[in-house]
Amino acid sequence: MITRSVAKALAQLRISNVVAIPTETVYGLAASIDSLKALRKIFKIKKRPFFDPLIVHVNGIPAAKKLTPDWSIISQKLAETFWPGPLTLVLKKNSRVNELITSGLPTVGIRCPQHVMTLKLLEMIDVPLAAPSANLFGKTSPTRAQHVEQEFRSKNLLVLDGGACKIGIESTILKVEKKKNIWLLEILRPGMLGADEIDKALIKLKKLYQWKKQKISKKKPLLPQAAGMLEHHYQPSIPLFYVRALTQYKVPKANENKIDLVLSTKPSLAARQLYHSMRTCAESGAKKIYFFEPKYFSKSEWAPIKERLQKASTKIIG
């Protein structure tokens, strides 16, 4: 059921039910972190494996500090600069955070979403909300209330309608950990907020941190450190074929019943369109979706969109 009533959403959360909430990135499937019953419902409704961590949403810095013993000057500056907004900080968790949320990891992802309705809900309930994207596990994320309703029509789920998501892809996930006398930063999941913007925000603290060196390994990690890190994710209901730029590839014939995914040439607009366009293509009656990578995808601002598309692909060609 779709509603614009924050009070109705609050009432459901207070009786340990799960509610779909709007954010600026994608819609989330929310539960109070103090209700183990509700947290379990998230995993059951999404068909999400217990090894995939959830992100905890708070209404500001004071609430975030209550979830971690490691709130540093680095975290403070990043939160002051980018919250409310699409940045998730991965920090050491304290005992307030149930291990079900973190999949047994000693760290927890925390962010403050930029949406007036969800911030109001967080203020009213006065409890952080664990909220992964409001879709079946591994499938295309929802950016409109109608997407959530279609996905969970049989679940009688309350969906708080906050309109279309302004950003359209998930938040940047940044791990912040201390090693000896330096803070190490590592982007676990790319988002529209990039490393350059993070560096700019921390310009006066540049002696206190450094970026963690990425080790190239052929071995795939057994378990994800944060949400959205699995090899396959965001997949539409029909196969998506990603054709790399400059690939000598014969374009499929029209009678193959395929449809091309076309996005804006502006990164911010392309991100906003991405999941809605993928859903539209999947519902078109075609049996296959093709995305032909443009040359400008090599630019850094396109990295998060490229990452989402490749993880959503059945096959990458070229």
Per-residue pLDDT of the chain (318 residues), as tens digits, is 999 999 999 999 999 999 999 999 999 999 999 999 999 999 999 999 999 999 999 999 999 999 999 999 999 999 999 999 999 999 999 999 999 999 999 999 999 999 999 999 999 999 999 999 999 999 999 999 999 999 998 888 999 999 999 999 999 999 999 999 999 999 999 999 999 999 999 999 999 999 998 665 555 556 788 777 778 899 999 999 999 987 777 666 666 799 999 999 999 999 999 999 999 999 999 999 999 999 999 999 999 999 999 999 999 998
Q: For residue 235, tell me if it sits in a domain.
A: no
Q: What is the pLDDT of residue 229?
A: 77
Please indicate, yes or no, whether residues 75 and 193 belong to a single structural domain of this protein.
yes
Look at residue 33 and give its three-state secondary structure. Answer: coil
Q: What is the pLDDT of residue 147?
A: 97
Residue holding tokens 């993070």?
198
Q: What is the pLDDT of residue 121?
A: 98
Q: Tell whether 221 and 250 lie within a shared domain.
A: no
Residue 13 to residue 17: CA distance in whole angstroms: 5
Q: What is the pLDDT of residue 244?
A: 93
Sorted by sequence, the CB contacts under 8 Å of residue 204 that are 6+ apart come out as none
Count: domains in the chain:
2
pLDDT on residue 246: 75
- The residues, any chain, with a CB within 8 Å of residue 254's CB and separated by 6 or more, are none
Q: What are the backbone dihedrals phi and psi of residue 176, each rounded to the nearest 5 degrees, phi first?
A: -125, 115
Angstrom distance (rounded) from CA 193 to CA 268: 11
DSSP E strand stretches across 149-293: 158-160, 172-179, 182-189, 209-211, 240-243, 258-260, 288-292
Per DSSP bridges, beta strands 87-92 and 107-111 are antiparallel
* Co-location of 180 and 251 in the same domain: no
Within this chain, do residues 29 and 90 fall inside the same structural domain, yes or no? yes
What does the pLDDT read at residue 107? 98
Asked whether residue 171 falls in the same domain as residue 284, the answer is no
CA–CA dist 188, 168 (Å, integer): 18
Between strands 158-160 and 2-3, the pairing is: parallel
User: Do both 218 and 252 map to the same domain?
Assistant: no
Q: How far apart are CA 294 and CA 243, in angstroms?
A: 9
List the domain range (segments joined by +) for residue 7.
1-228
From 203, 228, 253, give the residue that closes a domain.
228
The string of DSSP letters for 105-168 reads: -SEEEEE----HHHHHHHHHH-S-EE--BSSSTTBPPP-SHHHHHHHTGGGT-EEE---S-SS-
Q: Does residue 234 belong to any structural domain of this protein?
A: no
Identify whether 2 is part of a domain: yes
Locate 126 and state its tokens: 């006065």
- We report the CATH number of the domain holding residue 22 as 3.90.870.10
Q: State residue 299's pLDDT score.
A: 96
Amino acid residing at 285: G
Predicted TM-score of the model (pTM): 0.94
Q: Please check whether residues 313 and 210 belong to one and the same domain.
A: no
List 133's β-bridge partners, or say none: 28
Closest C-alpha among 273, 263, 317, 249 to residue 294: 263
**Same domain, yes or no, for 189 and 263?**
no
Check whether residue 102 and residue 21 sit in a common domain.
yes
Q: Are residues 210 and 277 in the same domain?
A: no
Does residue 111 belong to any structural domain of this protein?
yes
Whether cis (ω within 30° of 0) applies to the bond prior to 84 is yes
Tell me, what's the pLDDT at 221? 56
Are 82 and 168 in a shared domain?
A: yes
